[in-house]
Amino acid sequence: MEIIKLSELEGKKNKRGVIAKEVLKHENAQVMNLVLSKGDIVPAHQVPVDVFFYVKEGKGTLRIGDQSNVVEAGTVITCSPNTEMELRADQGEKFEVLNVKTPSL
């Protein structure tokens, strides 16, 4: 068993310009803790694997394909492979999500 404390992981700005903490990565899954400050945006992009987001803290706008919704802590949102996705911390607060990709990229 491995115990991972998100609060103890080091965060770095990723290629999309937001703080990302690598939680887990192996061939079957990749989990990143994305921390968006007020006004941060993860620009529209897509990946060739299944993705789901778990909103850990705050609220923000998540766009999957043509649907855009304000989502808040405690919510899980799914995204099929090759579907455009975008995150926005546009609700005046920090927006923190776990981004889970299966299989890993």
Beta bridge partners of 53: 77, 99
Query: What are the pLDDT digits (tens) for 5-47?
Result: 999 999 999 998 999 999 999 999 999 999 999 999 999 999 9
Question: Is residue 15 in a domain?
Answer: no
Q: Residue 7 falls within a domain, yes or no?
A: no
Tallying the residues shown for the chain, one arrives at 105
Per the structure block, which two tokens stand in for 6? 């998100």
Owning domain of residue 93:
30-102
- The string of DSSP letters for 75-95 reads -EEEE-TT--EEEE--SSS-E
Instruction: Kindly tell me if the per-residue pLDDT of 105 is higher than 90.
Output: no
pLDDT tens, residue by residue, 43-93: 999 999 999 999 999 999 999 999 999 999 999 999 999 999 999 999 999
| Number of domains present in the structure of the chain | 1
Backbone dihedral region for residue 39 (phi beyond 0: left; psi -120 to 50: alpha; all else: beta):
left
Tell me, yes or no, whether 76 lies in a domain.
yes
pTM of the model: 0.94
Position 79 in a domain:
yes
What is the structure's pLDDT at 104? Answer: 93
Q: Looking at residue 36, which CATH number applies to its domain?
A: 2.60.120.10
Those residues whose C-beta lies under 8 Å from the C-beta of residue 76, and which sit 6 or more positions away, are 52, 53, 54, 55
CA–CA separation, 25 and 83 (whole Å): 22
Which residues lie closer than 8 Å to 51 by C-beta, 6 or more apart?
A: 78, 79, 81, 85, 99, 100, 101, 102
Question: How far is the C-alpha of 41 from the C-alpha of 64, rounded, in Å?
Answer: 14
- % of the chain surpassing 90 pLDDT: 97
The answer to the question of residue 82 being in a domain is: yes
With respect to residue 96, please indicate whether it lies within any of the assigned structural domains.
Answer: yes
